[in-house]
Amino acid sequence: MGGNDNCLPLFETRPTKGRILFQLYVATIFVGISFICVYRVRWFPERGSWTERWTWVGLSVAELWFTLYWLLTVVVRWNPVRRFTFKDRLSCRYDDKALPGVDIFVCTADPVMEPPTMVINTVLSMMAYDYPPEKLSVYLSDDGGSDLIFYALLEAAHFSKEWLPFCRKFKVEPRSPEAYFRTAATNPPSHDSFMTKDWLMIKGKVGKKVSYPTKRTVQSTWFPEGS
């Protein structure tokens, strides 16, 4: 697979909190069960009738069965842990040639219920994935056949030539243009003059090319006059 064993691990195992309390709780239950077992053996009705003896044996077997079941459930939960994955380290472990091709489908049907703004931002965020571009394909399925979505995506295709390099260069998160500038501060997040220049330029174009198409009509904006 072209892996690199010298890279950082892909996940980290950490013990969960409250293990001591859980183990103390289990210990108290175990002591109680032990007393019940001693009671069943110590006070067996030797002089009782056969009915009493078989009833006692049946109860003892049932309690023994539930004790074994309880022990099995406790063993698997005795030392609980949580695993935290680091997906960003996959690119360090495997080279681009080892990664499989990925196809992403975006489905839409109604431009009113699913505005072009939302569709465009979804497509752009997927195109900006940290994945080899030659192995990533994004498809749009528009069951409604909306002209507005079609021409808005044409506009987004031109904007992607600036947005995708911006995402890969500065590793911005989230990678949806509208979501990024909605959560980002008013000023650029860095004092780097190059990033500030690109940040202001991209922010100005987001309002024009990504958020604005839903406010314009297809006839007045996308088609030439007289068509």
Q: Which positions make up the binding site for UDP-alpha-D-glucose?
A: 114, 143
Location of structure tokens 């506009």: 155
Contact 181, 169 (CB under 8 A): no
Contact 151, 220 (CB under 8 A): no
Contact 36, 129 (CB under 8 A): no
d(CA 125, CA 177): 7
Angle at Cα 151 formed by Cα 145 and Cα 156, nearest 5°? 120
Dihedral sign computed on CA atoms, order 11, 14, 17, 20: positive
CA distances for 135 relative to 68, 105, 147, 162, 184, angstroms = 52, 14, 29, 20, 30
DSSP bridge partners of 11:
85
**Residue whose C-alpha is closest to residue 107's, from 144, 81, 71, 136:** 144
Binding site members: 114, 143
d(CA 226, CA 130): 44
